Each structure stands twice: as C-alpha cells, then as structure tokens.
Structure 1
C-alpha cells in the first residue's frame, strides 16, 4: 500500500536557534517538539512524510525552505497559501497517488486536507492523533514504545 504521512510544520524553526542558517531543507527547518515527534513517528513506521506549511504548502524533506516565517492555518485565508496552490502541489508532487493518508495533525490541518483532496474516498485515511485534547496528549500518542 502506497502511504503518505502529513505532518504539521510548527512555529519554532532553525532560524529561531541560529538566525544565520540561511536556506535549509524542510527536514531541518522545523524545530518544534510536535513536528520532531511526528517526523520520528513517521520514520519509525517507515512512512514517507511531507510537511504541510501554511506559507509553502506541501514540503518534501529535501525541499528548500528559504527563510524564517510566521504563518499558520489559523491566520485569515488571504494570508496563507491558497487551496488552489495546495491542490496543484498535491498533484505536482504526486501525493495524490497515495492509497493511504496518515494525518499526524490537529483539526486545522485536517480541515485543509479535506478541502484540497477532491476524491476523499480514493484514499484510506488514518488519524492517530484524532481526539487528542491538546499538545500534551498528542505527544503522548506519538511516543514510540
């Protein structure tokens, strides 16, 4: 089964630690605890993953993030990447080919995904963090035994 794991980006980035970092791979850009735990969880399960960013959209691990930014899907729609751009990336990066979509995200990212994936029934959806009541519970669910 062809799987893709969607993980959230997060506010804390490499430039918050080292302002002189310059452009970096997406896999190194995001430094928040939730993002790192999601990345580890996906790697543990051998799921290929992609970061969903409110500024850049779908970022594969070796896509370049040019600089620091502060945007989230809680911002007004006109201040974040458009659904049309996300949909285009979904196809350009061949993410649509996944039979199974693992969402390691909260409700905001889930709503975005449900808007941009046109044929929801073409994929099996798994949401290991669904129902978590906050970041603490999410991190607990991501703990690898």
Structure 2
C-alpha cells in the first residue's frame, strides 16, 4: 500500500439514525459529515483508509463496531485506547506497510499518531488539513482538495 489515509471517526454514528442497529461494520458505523468527506477524499484518490477511534483504535472498513459510544482523545487516558494497543494494531493490521501517511484529522489525532508510530522517519507524512481552524474550515478544505 502506498498511501494510507487516517480518518477520524466522529460523534454521529448509525445508532443516532437507526437506534435498533446492533453492531455495524466500521465503514457503516460513522455518519458525520467530516468522516464522510475524509473517506470520500481517500476513495477518490484511490488511497487505503483506516478510521482512528479513541475507543477502538485503528478500524479497517470491515472491522466490527459493537455498539454506540462517545469517547474522544480529549477524554482522560484511562477512558481511551492505550498507545501500546494502537502500536499493536498498527502492526497486526499491516498498516505499517504504507509508504505515506495522509492525516485527514485535527491536531489531537496527529499527536496520537506521532506518539504511536515509533519510526516516524520511515513514512512520508501528508497533512492536508493542517492549519484549519475548526471543522468548518476542514470541510471547506476537503471540498477544495477532493478530486471531482
């Protein structure tokens, strides 16, 4: 895999739309606008993508999200996935095979990634949303940079 897009999960999930949903594939679980636009960017660029969740870690499209939750990287460390678990997932899910890491996230997620990836110099880091001031700015930038 050449490029791996890291996309945020987001607060809005399938359970907010269809409360009767039991578990869901990660690709179907997250319903927020930012998440959807990040995923569209990755797909239009033919890049692999993975969701970074503060509760579940790195989620591939067909990984199962068992239930609704509300956890972010701004929560206390005891309430979020540990760096050691993220490092394990990074390798076990073969994400380390990427050549470039495209961070379609805010600063909190970038901080997590740079803390978790111990050999950061191995990758080419791309941060197209760097400098955005909030979600509105991120959405606008994604509209500008996503291929039509």
For this structure pair, what is the TM-score category when the shorter chain's length is used for normalisation? Answer: over 0.9
**Superimposed CA distance per residue, residues 52-81 of structure 1 (whole angstroms, 9 cap, x where no aligned partner):** 000000000011101000100010111100
Instruction: Look up the match of 1:73.
Output: 73
Q: How does 1:92-131 map to 2 (within 5 A)?
A: 92-131=92-131
Q: Distance in 2 between matches of 1:57 and 1:120?
A: 18
Q: Distance in 2 between matches of 1:83 and 1:120?
A: 15
Instruction: Look up the match of 2:15.
Output: 15
Q: Distance in 1 between matches of 2:4 and 2:134?
A: 24
Unpaired stretches in structure 2, ≥5 consecutive residues: none
Aligned length, in residue pairs: 145
Q: Distance in 2 between matches of 1:49 and 1:21?
A: 24
**Superimposed CA distance per residue, residues 13-54 of structure 1 (whole angstroms, 9 cap, x where no aligned partner):** 000111111111100000011001101111111111000000
Unpaired stretches in structure 1, ≥5 consecutive residues: none
Instruction: Look up the match of 1:84.
Output: 84
**Secondary structure of the corresponding residue to residue 142 of structure 1:** helix
Q: Distance in 2 between matches of 1:9 and 1:27?
A: 10
Residue 36 in 1 paired to residue 33 in 2? no
Contact 2:2 2:47 in 1 (8 A): no
Q: Distance in 2 between matches of 1:5 and 1:32?
A: 17
Residue 57 in 1 paired to residue 25 in 2? no
TM-score between the two structures when normalised by the length of structure 1: 0.98
**Secondary structure of the corresponding residue to residue 36 of structure 1:** helix
